[in-house]
Structure 1
């Protein structure tokens, strides 16, 4: 009961006061119900007498009615929680998870798959709140009513009471076994459900690739394996519960049969009246009924507990710590001071090692270097994806650890190579950067980003839906929409992560023009794949193995004849490559 109360209070959250009020009503109602059966036995005993004492019988009846009235009122009060507060409990749990996800470092968030988080926020929240709204009250009833009825039966006839006290506990080890097996099985099922949900999301999002590879339907091994594992885990969980449930139910039925046999012997021996035996049997059946229901409720209870544990695992995750919540940015230079960073503590080599450089305000800095050198990690640290293992990242002289994430994001606009658009209209996707922007401001940003050109050709214009992840638009169009979003935000710091790397020449020109409109008078950091796009940068940093190996302007780096010059030579030489037709 203590464990149940702790878990249900956790699920109830801000509604814990209402939950406790409903729980008190459930306890009082359960006591009234058990007492009513005791009074009913007294009434039947009185009515079975040769000389009925009418006032005494009516007194028993009045008390019986009063107790049932108390129980009815308590049940009505108890039902207020599941019917009025259940939806609020689910909403509060989901809002709490949302707040936690927003406060979680992106590095921590990336450890969790979309399918797993979807299962937690969706199904696990529903199961947890179901426990708080229904299971708790049924469980209280299943414990209190039998305990009090045992006392009543012992008081009325100690012999029948003793039979029940001696035989019913035989079911308890099996009920406990059901609890253990249900807990283990449901935790495994939850894990399998999360894995299957992740594979389903992966399957849907990767369907074009899977089709091209001939891995759809039954040929999709990853999805098929996850679904088979889910089915296997669920089947094994149910099998493990079958035998203990049958034994526990049988033990309760045997207890009632033995009690009836003892009572019948007492009636035959004239030590007990038949009406009183009937009343005792009714009470015995009522005693066993909640215990039988408990075997079914245990599985639901364990499901709620397993769901709460998964919710707790998210709620107990690391959160971003803010040194000075009132700190505000008024300068927009960026500095890395002796920064060392690992994605995982046990990585043998850091991704960034003793990295130091400065991005002056209102300047354009380009990061170039081979794949895996740490360029994207640098841009992530500027948005406080995670904190450095050593050193500091500062904006306007403020260590990012002192700034609230909202303050950082308010002043930083990011344009990624892989654009994510929401399944909404083009207007809504652009306005996401500034929801209070007028239609005229949205259109102005779209014109600056070369979005208006292709939007004007669409049947619904800016009200055209872009599809899931922007699938209805081409890569260049998605990129321009994301740049329009950044233009509308008008943040003083702009991060560009290879925004033109995957575009064709025509799209690249349009996107480059949009970028030119975006970066005016901003502090800009661009990660460049094509060196020709950053020849006019104020400074170019060559990143190699997490360190700055060279820095300077385009001309200075060519004159130095180092790594940058070699990269430039390789890219300009590649423009002369030709693909020859095969000789037949």
Structure 2
């Protein structure tokens, strides 16, 4: 009971007091319902007497009516919470999860798949909130009514009551078995549901690739395996509950049969009247109904608790610590000082190995180097994706560990290679950078980013919806919209993760012009794979195995004849490469 009550209160959240009031109403209503059975037994007993006392009979009848009227009023209190507050409980849980996910370090957030988070915020919240709504009140009724009815039966005839008391506990071990197996099975089901949801999201988003690889439909092995595993886990969970559920319900029904059999023997022995036995049998049946309901509800409660455990895991996650909540950034040079960073504590080698460099304010720095060398990690640490394992990252001389992430985000704009647009209008996607921006300001940013040109050709202009992940636009158009968003934000620090790498030459020119408008008079860090795009950088850092292997301007690095010169030679040589037609 303590565990279930804790579950209900956590799920109710800020509406805990209203939930408690409704729970008290449910308790009073259940007591009134059980007492009404007692009044009914008293009425039947009086009507079975040779000389009926009408005053006594009417008294029992009025008591019966009043108790049922009280129960009805109490049930209204339950319904008020169920219909007015249940949706709000779910909304509060989802909003709370949203706040936690926004504050969660990106390093932790990346460990969770989109499908898993969708299951968490969707199904898990619904199941958890059920524990503080319909099921909670049914459970109170399922516990209170049988206890009071057994006490009434003991008062009316202690022998029949003792039979009920002796036989009902036989169901308890099987009820506990249901609880244990349901808990284990439902937690496994939750995990399988999250995995299946992730594979479905992956499947839908990757359909073009799957079609090209011939992996659509039944041949999509990853999705097929996840769905089969989900089906297997659900099936095994249900099978494990079948036997204990049947035995628990049978034990309750046998208790009723035994009580009626004893009562029948007493009637034959003239120790009990037949009408009174009928009344006791009705009470015993009423006792069985909530007990059987409770047996089936245990699995649902375990589902609620399993869901709540997943929610609590997120709700208890700690945001990045902030050394000084009042710290502000007012200068925009960037410095890495002996920074070491591992993505996982058990990684044998760090991604960044005591790396140090400085990005002067209002300068353009390019990071080049092989894949996996640590370039993207550097850009992530500037946005406080995570804190270094050792060393310091500073903006304007301020240690980022002292600064709230929101303060950092105010001053940094990021343009990724893989652009994510929301399924909304072009105007709304640009205005996300500054929700209070006017239409004129949005259009000015769009013009600077070469967005206005293609938007003006669209039938609905800036009110055109871009589709899921921006799928209604081309790659170059999506990239320009994301740059317009960054221009509108007008942040003094700009991070570019090779925004032109996947574009055709025509789109690349338009995007490069948009970037030129974005980076003017900013502190800019660009991750570059095409060295030709960064020849004018103020400094180029060659990153290799988490360290700065070389630094300098394009000319200085070519003169040094080191790694950069080799990379430049390889790329310029590749431009002359051609596919030769094979002979026949």
Give the match for residue 113 of structure 1. Answer: 113
- Aligned residue for 1:345, secondary structure, equals coil
Instruction: Give the aligned partner of residue 38 of structure 2.
Output: 38
Whole-Å separation in 1 of the counterparts to 2:403 and 2:82: 41
Counterparts of 2:77 and 2:459 in 1: how far apart (Å)?
A: 56
- Matched position secondary structure for 2:358: strand
1:288 aligns with 2:288: yes
Partner of 1:185: 185
- Residues 99-108 or 562-571, more deviating: 562-571
Structure 2: distance between partners of 1:323 and 1:72 = 56
Aligned equivalent of 2:201: 201
1:331/1:395 contact within 8 Å kept: yes
Which of 349-358 and 182-191 deviates more? 182-191
Paired residue for 1:457?
457
Q: Counterpart in 2 of 1:79? A: 79
Give the match's secondary structure for 1:354. strand
Residue 240 of structure 2: SS of its match in structure 1? helix
Secondary structure, counterpart of 1:581 in structure 2: coil
Superposed displacement of residue 444, structure 1: 1.2
Q: CA deviation at 1:12?
A: 0.4
SS in structure 1 opposite 2:133? helix
**What is the CA-CA distance between 1:579 and the residue it aligns to?**
2.1
1:319 corresponds in structure 2 to: 319
Note if contact 1:337-1:356 (Cα within 8 Å) is conserved in structure 2.
yes
2:162 aligned residue: 162
CA distance in 1, matches of 2:470, 2:257: 68
Partner Cα separation in structure 1 for residue 577 and residue 261 of structure 2 = 98
- The 2-side partners of 1:160 and 1:453 are apart by 88
3-state SS, counterpart of residue 542 of structure 2: strand
Structure-2 residue corresponding to 1:257: 257
Task: Note the aligned Cα RMSD (angstroms).
Answer: 1.2
> Aligned partners of 2:318, 2:11: CA distance in 1, in Å?
20
2:3 corresponds to: 3
Structure 1 distance, partners of 2:575, 2:56, is: 108
SS of the aligned residue for 1:421 comes to coil
SS at match of 1:132: coil
**Could you tell me which residue of structure 2 aligns to residue 446 of structure 1?**
446
TM-score, L = length of structure 2 = 0.98
Tell me which stretches of 4 or more aligned residues in structure 1 moved more than 4 Å.
none
Does the residue aligned with 2:314 lie in a helix, a strand or coil? helix
- Equivalent position of 1:222 in the other structure: 222
C-alpha separation between the residues in 1 aligned to 2:528 and 2:11? 48
Counterpart CA distance in 2 for 1:323 and 1:99 is 21
Residue deviations 1:133-175, cap 9 Å, x none?
1111111111111111111111111110111111111111111
Q: Determine the structure 1 residue equivalent to 2:65.
A: 65
Greater Cα shift, 90-99 or 389-398: 389-398
Is it true that 1:538 corresponds to 2:551 in the alignment?
no
1:357-402 alpha-carbon deviations (Å, 9 max, x no partner): 1111111111111111000000000011111100111111211121
Structure 2 residue matching 1:526: 3-state secondary structure: strand
Deviations 1:169-204, CA, capped at 9 Å, x for gaps: 111111111111111121111111111111100000
**How far does the alpha carbon of each residue in 1:60-89 deviate from its partner, in whole angstroms, 9 at most, with x for none?**
222222222221111111221111100100
Give, in angstroms, the shift of residue 109 of structure 1.
Answer: 0.4
Q: Distance in 2 between matches of 1:87 and 1:221?
A: 38
Aligned-residue offset at 1:510: 1.3
What's the counterpart of residue 297 of structure 2?
297
For 2:491, what is the secondary structure of its paired residue? coil
SS of 2:323's partner is coil
- Residue 511 of structure 1 deviates from its aligned partner by 1.1
Tell me the residue number matched to 1:88.
88
Partner-residue secondary structure (3-state), 2:391: strand
Aligned to 1:500: 500
Alpha-carbon distance between aligned partners in 2 of 1:303 and 1:546, rounded to the nearest angstrom: 46
Q: Which runs of 5+ in 1 are unaligned?
A: none
- Say whether 1:21 aligns with 2:21: yes
Find the aligned partners of 2:404 and 2:319 in 1 and give their Cα distance: 12
SS in 2 for 1:393: strand
Partner of 2:233: 233
For residue 549 of structure 2, what is the aligned residue in structure 1? 549
Counterpart mapping for 1:384-399 below 5 A = 384-399=384-399
Cα separation, 1, equivalents of 2:363 and 2:145: 76
| Alignment: residue pair count | 584
Q: What is the CA-CA distance between 1:459 and the residue it aligns to? A: 2.3
In structure 1, what is the Cα distance between the partners aligned to 2:325 and 2:191? Answer: 37
Asked whether the 8 Å contact 1:8–1:136 carries over to 2, the reply is yes
Structure 2: gaps spanning 5 or more residues = none
Find the aligned partners of 2:42 and 2:578 in 1 and give their Cα distance.
Answer: 103
State whether residues 108 and 318 of structure 1, in contact with CA within 8 Å, keep that contact through their aligned partners in structure 2: no
Once residues 535 and 213 of structure 1 are traced to their aligned partners in structure 2, the CA distance between those partners, rounded to angstroms, is 38
How many angstroms apart in 1 are the aligned matches of 2:455 and 2:258? 82
> How many Å separate the matches in 1 of 2:101 and 2:110?
11
Question: Which stretch of the first structure deviates more once superposed, 22-31 or 452-461?
Answer: 452-461
Partner Cα separation in structure 1 for residue 37 and residue 475 of structure 2: 74
Cα distance, 1:231 vs structure 2:
1.2
Say whether residues 1:342 and 2:342 are aligned partners.
yes
Aligned partner of residue 495 in structure 1, secondary structure: strand
Q: Give, in whole Å, the separation in 2 of the partners of 1:55 and 1:511.
A: 94
Counterpart of 1:478?
478
Q: Which stretch of structure 1 is more off in the superposition, 378-387 or 396-405? A: 396-405
Measured in 1, the distance between the counterparts of 2:539 and 2:37 equals 87
- Give CA deviations for 1:259-306 in whole Å, capped at 9, x if unaligned: 111111111111111111111111111111111111111121111111
Secondary structure, counterpart of 2:132 in structure 1: helix
Secondary structure at the aligned position of 2:324 is classed as coil
User: CA separation in 2, counterparts of 1:317 and 1:111?
Assistant: 13
| Bigger shift: residues 480-489 or 399-408 | 399-408
Q: Distance in 2 between matches of 1:78 and 1:503?
A: 60
Q: For structure 1, which segment, 372-381 or 235-244, has the greater mean C-alpha deviation from structure 2 after superposition?
A: 235-244
